[in-house]
Amino acid sequence: MKGGPFPRLGAWVKLPAPESVELLALAGFDFVVIDAEHGAIDIRMMSTMIGVAHGCGLAPFVRVAGTAPRDVQVPLDAGAAGLFVPQIDDTARARDAVQATRFPPLGQRGASTSGRAGRWGLEGLADYLRSGNEEVRLVVQAESAEALSAIVEIGEVSGVDAVFIGPTDLAVSGQFPEGDGKLADLVAAAERRCADRGITLGTTASGDAPDLLGRGYTFLVLGADTTILRQAAHALVSGARTAAPEVLR
């Protein structure tokens, strides 16, 4: 794996707040995924959050909306440790993601050493190109039945570093009627195939983290900052109301 072992425990960041990144670092997370697909985070805020993550010792990933040059170029120039690219259903889309993420001759990413990725112009061009191709991690998201069926072929595309199984989009895809067991069977088969071929695999987790790690997952996203805040706030309020029901109605 590029740049050493893949960081193990992460969280989605959906709130446009650098403090969210800082708090997750203090909580002990290894990486964050700044959500530019579903979160309300603009380019300036994304860059600030990436810088804060680096300062806190977190690996900052960005979940992009797609493989358009601007979706990919901006977070990488801002110093993202890697990208999560959604809706990668086949090897053709995986190769598109590689082309957008890697410098020539491996891809078509544009070069600019004057940003954070180039240490604001201090890094020489050769080192900048090397780090972009050898250290930036590309995580492709498998979120359909087609992606699960082709997961090994997708994961073995040159330039892809890991595959992330996205359970939410799989569940709402309409391909799996509730209760028929097909989704669980497909995921289990995908897990076994990835383990057999040594493909780095990740997914979301909550209380099932030990089970998922035992099934061969290398890295887990444990939740979103929004969910963590809501759950903690709800627990505090519920605890207070339960302790003093006659006063706090």
Q: Kindly name the residue from 1, 38, 44, 124 that is annotated as catalytic.
A: 38
| 203: phi then psi, degrees, rounded to nearest 5 | -165, 180
Side-chain half-sphere exposure of 3, counting CA atoms within 13 A: 15
Backbone CA torsion sign across 68, 69, 70, 72: positive
Say if residues 139 and 162 touch (Cβ distance below 8 Å): yes
38 is catalytic: yes
- Cα distances from 28 to residues 12, 25, 55, 135, in angstroms, run 14, 5, 14, 23
Any idea of the CA torsion for 149, 153, 159, 162, to the nearest 10 degrees? 40
Question: Cα–Cα–Cα angle for 36, 92, 139, nearest 5°?
Answer: 40
- Cα distances from 39 to residues 13, 35, 54, 59, 248, in angstroms, run 8, 5, 20, 18, 34
Gap between the Cα atoms of 4 and 188, Å rounded: 27
Contacts of 144 (CB under 8 A, 6+ apart): 87, 89, 169, 170, 173, 175
Say if residues 241 and 248 touch (Cβ distance below 8 Å): yes
Tell me whether the omega of the peptide bond preceding residue 105 falls within 30 degrees of 0, making it cis. yes
Q: Which residues are catalytic?
A: 38
